[in-house]
Amino acid sequence: MEIVKRPEPPTGLRRRLWRLPIPLYRMGLGALLGRRVMLLTHTGRVSGLPRQAVIEVVDHDGHGYLAASGFGVRADWYRNVVASPEVTVQVGGHVHQVTAVPLPAEAGADLMARYASRHPAAARRLCRIMGYAVDGSQEDYREVGRHVPFVRFVPRESRR
């Protein structure tokens, strides 16, 4: 794995393109987007206002939804959920009250390797977007996963 160039979070037109699915969720059409993306509603760490972002669901298990911050710890949504972890996610047509729990680097390594084995083309594309050159080996994907922050969105009712 080689870090080619870590991109900055998108601005301007690129930011608008990344946010295109948000109006679909607002119109109640989130089910059209399937279970691989989710609408994250969180609180701005500076403004205190509600914010929304669409992020990819890397995995879903009995303990919640898992997502990666492709733009690292500089991504606004990531910094916001670390500051205020009580958030809402909508996956498909279902809304869940969840708590955002950052994962340790080694858990991220395991997640990225599993993701790459299930979605090889998407994993290569995702790594390229995030600024990593990979050779396609599981160890390369594990190394990317150690550098990318992952978050588990745990349903609040299961945290009791």
Q: Is the pLDDT of residue 160 over 50?
A: no
Copy the structure tokens of residue 6: 């870590």
The β-bridge partners of 102 are: 151
- Is pLDDT above 80 for 8? no
pLDDT tens per residue, range 47-84: 999 999 999 999 998 899 999 998 889 899 999 999 99
- Mean pLDDT taken over the chain: 91
pLDDT category, 4, cuts 50, 70, 90? confident
| pTM more than 0.85 | yes
- 109 contacts 134 by C-beta, under 8 angstroms: no
The span from the CA of 79 to the CA of 158, in Å, is: 24
The percentage of the chain sitting over the pLDDT mark of 70, rounded to a whole number, equals 98
Domains present along the chain, CATH in parentheses: 2-103+149-159 (2.30.110.10)
Question: What is the per-residue pLDDT for 158?
Answer: 52
**pLDDT over 90 (residue 91):** yes
